[in-house]
């Protein structure tokens, strides 16, 4: 597969029409159609369903769309790193992370680094632990900020001095809002909104002493921000960590921690034996310096 043709394919997927994609690419429609047909023949798969006015992706096409974007992102990242001179230090550092206080230390490092190396640019990618570790494996991010432990055979890691308590996020008018803490029994039967993070689900199974799936799960989320709208509308209670959502007298939501306490640690991780760009190496060095002060 040629990178050029993958770019063509992604434009078609974005535009939803071969004619619109041809116009955006400054190609003739027959030329673009032939390139796409050659790609399908090369892969032995039908990637596009061609309609009179709209072109849609097949299941194989949707898979290629995801992989093609990853390939092009990785290619661009490699090109950017290799273009850096031997003496000048600049470039991009890609960091993936979920919602946690650990990202504040990333921000502090970026600020400190900016003073000495203004040509180093930090890019943040949001996602849950599974998303971030997948990107780390593929080289799409240099570092990840992960909740809980990681495989020490695959990753180097640094523990961050930031922890979160698990608890229940609810409306202020909830019957449970007056509680000082929430017990496993309190979760029985109430509608809950949960993260799709498998590590978190295992923690709940241990904490409750029974299968997580016995809960009345009415909705799920990837990151907590959008789930707050479900809580505000009364869809259910969100199982989450403290300090991620504003829940004070001036806000509509209220957070109550669990008893027994459920606490998580946060780590910054990177692949073992990873070869860093100059920018990424400087970021790691500065991050370790920032950590010494905490």
76-96 per-position pLDDT tens digit: 878 777 776 566 788 899 999
Are residues 201 and 255 located together in one domain of the fold? yes
Are residues 69 and 116 located together in one domain of the fold? no
Q: 211-218 long-range contacts, Cβ below 8 Å, gap at least 24?
A: 215/187, 216/189, 216/190, 216/191, 216/192, 217/192, 217/193, 218/191, 218/192, 218/193
Are residues 30 and 93 located together in one domain of the fold? no
277-287 pLDDT tens trace: 889 999 999 99
Q: What is the average pLDDT across 158-172?
A: 91
**Over the chain, what is the mean pLDDT?**
89
Give the domain CATH number at 72.
1.10.10.10
36-55 pLDDT tens trace: 999 999 999 999 998 878 89
Q: How confident is the model at residue 265 (pLDDT cuts 50, 70, 90)?
A: confident
Are residues 95 and 137 located together in one domain of the fold? yes
Give the domain CATH number at 95.
3.40.190.10
User: Which helix or strand (DSSP H or E) is residue 55 part of?
Assistant: strand 55-57
Are residues 182 and 238 located together in one domain of the fold? yes
Q: Which of 80, 95, 121 is the last residue of a domain?
A: 80
Are residues 283 and 143 located together in one domain of the fold? yes
Q: What is the pLDDT of residue 250?
A: 66
User: Is it the case that residue 218 has pLDDT exceeding 90?
Assistant: yes
How many distinct structural domains can be found in the chain?
Answer: 3
Are residues 287 and 259 located together in one domain of the fold? no
Domain that holds residue 224: 164-263
CB-count burial class (<10 Å; 0-12, 13-18, 19+) for 93: buried
């Amino acid at each position: 597969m040629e990178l050029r043709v993958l770019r063509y394919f992604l434009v078609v997927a974005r535009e939803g029409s071969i004619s619109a994609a041809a116009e955006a690419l400054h190609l003739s429609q027959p030329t673009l159609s032939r390139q796409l047909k050659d790609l399908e023949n090369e892969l032995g798969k039908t990637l596009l369903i061609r309609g009179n006015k709209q072109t849609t992706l097949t299941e194989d096409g949707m898979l290629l769309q995801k992989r093609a974007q990853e390939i092009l992102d990785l290619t661009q990242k490699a090109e950017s790193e290799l273009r850096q001179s031997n003496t000048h230090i600049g470039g991009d550092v890609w960091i993936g992370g979920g919602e946690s206080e650990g990202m504040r230390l990333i921000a502090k490092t970026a600020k400190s680094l900016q003073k000495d190396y203004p040509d180093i640019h930090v890019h943040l990618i949001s996602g849950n632990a599974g998303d971030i570790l997948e990107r780390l494996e593929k080289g799409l991010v240099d570092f990840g900020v992960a909740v809980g432990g990681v495989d020490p055979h695959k990753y180097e890691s640094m523990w961050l001095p930031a922890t979160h308590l698990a608890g229940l996020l609810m409306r202020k008018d909830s019957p449970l809002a007056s509680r000082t803490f929430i017990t496993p029994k309190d979760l029985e039967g109430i509608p809950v909104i949960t993260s799709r993070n498998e590590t978190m689900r295992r923690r709940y199974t241990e904490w409750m002493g029974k299968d997580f799936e016995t809960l009345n799960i009415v909705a799920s989320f990837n990151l907590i921000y959008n789930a707050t709208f479900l809580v505000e509308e009364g869809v259910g209670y969100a199982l989450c960590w403290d300090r991620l959502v504003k829940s004070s007298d001036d806000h509509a939501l209220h957070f109550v921690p669990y008893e027994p306490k459920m606490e998580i640690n946060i780590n910054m991780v990177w692949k073992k034996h990873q070869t860093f760009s100059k920018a990424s190496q400087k970021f790691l060095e500065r991050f370790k310096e920032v950590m010494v002060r905490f």
